[in-house]
Amino acid sequence: MRKIIASEFVSLDGVFEAPDQWHFPYFDEEMGQEIMAAMGQTDAMLMGRVNYEEWAEFWPNQDPEENPASGFMNGVRKFVVSTTLEEPLGWDNSTLIKENVAEEIAGLKRQTGGDIAISGSASLVRSLLKDGLIDELRLMVHPVVVGSGKRLFEGGGDQIALELADSRTFSTGVVYLTYRPVSGRDNDDQKEVQEMEAGNARERMTLVLGGRGKIGRRVSERLEERGLPVRVGSRSGEPPFDWENPDTWAPALHGVGSVYVSYFPDLAIPGAVEAVRSFAELAVGTGVRRLVLLSGRGEEEAQRAEQALREVGDEAGVEWTIVRCAWFNQNFDENYLLEPILGGEVALPSGDVPEPFVDADDIADVAVAALTEDGHAGELYELTGPRLLTMEEAVGEISKATGRKIRFVPVSLEEYESVLAEADVPPEFLSFLTYLFGTVLDGRNASLTDGVRRALGREPRDFADYARDAAATGVWGSVREGKR
Which one of 34-42, 172-180, 184-192, 237-245 is the stretch in contact with ligand NAP (CB under 6 A)? Answer: 237-245
**According to the binding rule CB under 6 A, does residue 16 interact with ligand NAP?**
no
Euclidean distance between CA atoms 288 and 281, whole angstroms: 10
Q: Which is nearer to ligand NAP, 246 or 255 (CB)?
A: 246
Using only C-alpha atoms, what is the Rg of the chain? Answer: 29
Residue 2 is classified by DSSP as P
**According to the binding rule CB under 6 A, does residue 135 interact with ligand NAP?**
no
CA 9 → CA 91, 129, 476, distances in Å? 24, 17, 72
Question: Is-contact 475 466, C-beta < 8 A?
Answer: no
Least Å distance between CB 70 and ligand NAP? 48
Euclidean distance between CA atoms 93 and 364, whole angstroms: 49
**According to the binding rule CB under 6 A, does residue 325 interact with ligand NAP?**
yes
**According to the binding rule CB under 6 A, does residue 361 interact with ligand NAP?**
no
Q: Which is nearer to ligand NAP, 78 or 310 (CB)?
A: 310
Residue 123 exposed, middle or buried by CB count within 10 Å (0-12, 13-18, 19+): middle
Half-sphere exposure of 270 (CA within 13 A, CB side): 2
Q: Which is nearer to ligand NAP, 106 or 207 (CB)?
A: 207
Binding mask 397-436 for ligand NAP (x = CB under 6 A): ----------------------------------------
Helices and strands: H and E segment counts in the chain: 17, 16
Q: Which is nearer to ligand NAP, 162 or 430 (CB)?
A: 430
Q: Is 217 helix (H, G, I), strand (E, B) or coil?
A: helix
Least Å distance between CB 108 and ligand NAP? 25
**According to the binding rule CB under 6 A, does residue 316 interact with ligand NAP?**
no
**According to the binding rule CB under 6 A, does residue 263 interact with ligand NAP?**
yes
- CB count in 10 Å sphere of residue 450: 14
Q: Is 104 helix (H, G, I), strand (E, B) or coil?
A: helix
Q: Output the residue with the shortest Cβ distance to ligand NAP.
A: 213
Euclidean distance between CA atoms 424 and 167, whole angstroms: 69
**According to the binding rule CB under 6 A, does residue 7 interact with ligand NAP?**
no
Which one of 106-114, 199-207, 265-273, 306-314 is the stretch in contact with ligand NAP (CB under 6 A)? Answer: 265-273
Q: Which is nearer to ligand NAP, 136 or 382 (CB)?
A: 382
Long-range contacts of 174-177 (CB under 8 A, 24+ apart): 174/26, 174/31, 174/140, 174/141, 174/142, 174/143, 175/140, 175/141, 175/143, 176/34, 176/138, 176/139, 176/140, 176/141, 177/138, 177/139, 177/141
Member of 63, 65, 188, 244 binding ligand NAP (CB under 6 A): 244
Interacting residues with ligand NAP between 163 and 222 (CB under 6 A): 210, 212-216
Which one of 132-140, 231-239, 405-413, 418-426 is the stretch in contact with ligand NAP (CB under 6 A)? Answer: 231-239
Binding site for ligand NAP (CB under 6 A): 210, 212-216, 234-236, 241-244, 262-267, 294, 296, 302, 325, 327-328, 331
